[in-house]
Amino acid sequence: MTIEATIQGTPLVFETESGLFSPNWVDPGTLSLLASVRFSQEDKVLDLGCGYGAMGIYAAKLLGADRVHMIDSNPTAVRCAERNARLNGVAGVHFQVSDGFRDFHGTGFTKILCNPPYHTDFSVAKHFIEKGFNRLLVGGALWFVTKRDTWYRKELSAVFGGTRVTQHDSYFIFEAIKKSPTYASVASKRP
């Protein structure tokens, strides 16, 4: 299957496969998140749970392929994302199959973008939030898009010390900025 999409004025083409998330069109939550993020040329971006690559490839078109890393636990998704990077002229993006951060050791990110599986229990999202915090530079931001508000707001605030939340249609866009090297809940318990 092939999707043609223009994301924030950037025309992109994606080949997808059944069994991947949103194989027939770019997910509206992804589009909502990308409409909210502002990139700078110094950004180092991680597309966490990249699927067939919409967020990471868009970022690579703006920043350059060498500034973007993409990971997913599904080898088929990573193969599609690699193919889509070539199709869109950003073949130098860094790819890895990894179950969250378990096999991925990249650090120093200024932005982590994620459309997490929010119709499951929260263990995956908790892992993404806690381990994502550790992979960001101070001043970097974790961006999430979900259809759920309360749990994400509380968890992001506990780890990051707060989060900015905007709503776009039925989606919540979270931007949590890393303000210190330690989790906010740990820092607040210090004497």
- Among left, alpha and beta (phi > 0; psi -120 to 50; other), residue 63 is alpha
Angle at 20 between CA 121 and CA 44, to 5 degrees: 80
Gyration radius (Cα) of the chain, Å: 16
The pLDDT value recorded for residue 117 is: 81
- Residues 153-179 pLDDT 10s: 999 999 999 999 999 989 999 999 999
Which residues, in sequence order, are CB contacts of 56 under 8 Å at separation 6+?
45, 47, 50, 68, 69, 70, 81, 85, 93, 113
The pLDDT value recorded for residue 189 is: 52
User: What's the average model confidence in pLDDT over 5-27?
Assistant: 94
Domain residues for the domain of 75 are 2-187
The tally of CA atoms less than 13 A away on the side-chain side of residue 179 is 15
Instruction: Identify the three-state secondary structure at position 36.
Output: helix
pTM of the shown model: 0.94
Secondary structure (DSSP) of 75-141: HHHHHHHHHHHHHTT-TT-EEEE-STTSS-----EEEEEE---TTS-SHHHHHHHHHHHHHEEEEEE
What are the phi and psi torsion angles at 38 (to 5°)? -115, 125
- Residues 66-117 pLDDT 10s: 999 999 999 999 999 999 999 999 999 999 999 999 999 999 999 999 998 8
Instruction: Give the DSSP H or E segment for 163.
Output: none
The pLDDT value recorded for residue 25 is: 93
Q: Output the domain CATH number for residue 87.
A: 3.40.50.150
Domain count, the chain: 1
Could you give the C-alpha distances from 120 to 2, 4, 11, 162, in angstroms and in order? 28, 29, 32, 24
